[in-house]
Amino acid sequence: MGKLESKFPVSQETKGIMKMSMMKLRLSKQFTPGRIIALGFAGVILLGTLLLILPISIQPWGHVSFLDALFTSTSSVCVTGLLTVDIADNFTVFGRIVVAFLIQIGGLGISSIGVGVMLLTGKRIGLKERSMVREGMNQSSSKGLVRLLKAVLRMTFLFEGIGALLSFIVFIQDFPFWKAVQLSLFHTVASFNNAGMDLLGGGTNLIPYKDNILLNLVTSGLIIFGGLGFFVIREMFQKHSFRKLSLHSKVVLFMTALLLVAGTLMFKLTERGNITWLGAFFTSTTARTAGFSTFPLSGFSTAGLFIVVILMLIGTSPGSTGGGIKTTTVFVLCKSAFSTATNRYCQAFRRKLPNDVISKAFFLTMIAGILVAVDVTIICLFDPQFRLVDILVEVVSAFSTTGLSTGITADLSTVSQCVLIATMYIGRLGPLTVATMWVMKRPPNFHYAEESVIIG
């Protein structure tokens, strides 16, 4: 550097610019899209906590600690639905509006909201913003992302608008006009974003409306469409034919229909006289990361709770408002197991599945299993008074951002509630994102000699 400076003198101003450029380059390498999204979610959770702990957010008779506010904010942003305090009984109208906005931000995603604001203000969308949207929406390419984002915002307001109008028809029969409006808007936002929260109070959720066909079907429809993923919904509107859809959309629609039917039949079988066909269908729908309940889980049999755990763990589809290991992951795992057993290529709908997709599916499932096992063990140590199945429901519900519970959330110890907060955060970001976003090293350019091990 000294020799170059002697031949080509560099001014102090130029040196300063070069140093600043190097610092910016290092920062850009450190703050990858995945890290920015993770920090964005954490920032919104913290802001929501501070807003919910304000006196203006809490009813005069409400009892909300800092941990309760943090838990509620995390559950809202991560569109989970687990709660330590009832929203309607403890928060004012301002607090409920804060919760609704947190749910909407969490459902659409930090990057989508940020870029959406830039679009509304007419600002230019750069490569960095596009890469964040691609990461947040689980897209493999940046091509057409801005158009997809505009479609996402339009679809969100369309579905939520229709859902609010139909929900209002139900709530206006039991509540005054403005109360019905408030319930309809909040319920629709919570339904489409798969959050599972309500403003009915008393911790009843939707149990008073277990026989209301319209509200059950409207809520189920919002949950299903919110769980399909925006990419799939757009393809359905554009192509109007199952044959013309991409492989991803075909898998999502096939798995969604299969799980809805199988879940309904299994709940009706395991709960028999304790649940109606409408209740079985609604539970099958909501168990895949929505969190609403028309029949209390505390009255479910052990077999029924196990079905709930399986559906919650599977969750919804990539690019949706829900969580879980995703329907496509389970489809790939099943197809891979079948192809291994029959010694054939792993294929679906006349398309061969790539090996890297199969590897990601197995890795994601393994990480999810380890996380759930560790969390269950920790909570069993600090809250041994609860049954294992109740704790398992709680942990899987937090990981899959579902929100269903047998009623033990508020009675858990501080340590266990903190474990659930961390689990909801990881579940919303995605375990695959959390596991890989800190890896900065490039893969080596060499390979070791191959040697087999005995399996089975």
Whole-angstrom distance, CA of residue 442 vs CA of residue 390: 43
Measure the CA dihedral 10/11/16/19, to 10°.
Answer: 0
Domain count, the chain: 1
Residue 7 scores a pLDDT above 60: no
The pTM (predicted TM-score) of the whole model is 0.85
| pLDDT value of position 25 | 46
Assigned domain for 7 exists: no
Asked if pLDDT for residue 52 goes beyond 80, the answer is yes
Q: Identify the DSSP state of 377.
A: H
158-186 pLDDT, tens per residue?
A: 899 999 999 999 999 999 999 999 999 99
Question: What H or E segment, with its residue span, contains residue 382?
Answer: helix 355-382
- Tokens read off for 105: 């931000």
Q: What pLDDT shows up at residue 127? A: 59
* pLDDT at site 235: 86
| pLDDT value of position 27 | 44
Helical residues (DSSP H) of 383-440, grouped into ranges: 388-399, 414-429, 431-436
Least confident of 22-26, 320-324, 397-401: 22-26
**pLDDT above 90: percentage of residues in the chain:** 44
Domain assignment present for residue 443? The answer is no
Length of the chain: 456
Contacts 24+ apart (CB under 8 A), 244-252: 247/348, 247/349, 247/351, 248/318, 248/328, 250/348, 250/349, 251/327, 251/328, 251/331, 251/348, 251/349, 252/228, 252/317, 252/327, 252/328
Question: Are the C-beta atoms of 356 and 367 separated by less than 8 Å?
Answer: no
- Where residue 14 falls among pLDDT bands split at 50, 70, 90? low
SS3 state at 351? strand
Domain contains 1: no
From the list 250, 217, 219, the residue with the least C-alpha distance to 232 is 250
State which amino acid sits at residue 129: E
**DSSP code for 57:** G
Q: Which residue has the higher pLDDT, 380 or 31?
A: 380
Residue 9 domain-assigned? no
Which is more confidently placed, 152 or 407?
407
Looking at every residue in the chain, the average pLDDT score rounds to 83
The answer as to whether 442 is a domain residue is: no
Q: Which residues of 68-89 are buried (b: 16+ CB within 10 A; e: fewer)?
A: bbbbbbbbbbbbbbbbbbbbbe
| pLDDT of res. 277 | 93
> What distance in Å separates the CA atoms of residue 365 and residue 371, rounded to the nearest whole number?
10
Average pLDDT in the 81-87 region?
90
Query: Is 444 a member of any domain?
Result: no
Q: Is residue 129 part of a domain?
A: yes
- Residue 154 sits in which domain range? 15-436
Domain-embedded: residue 152: yes
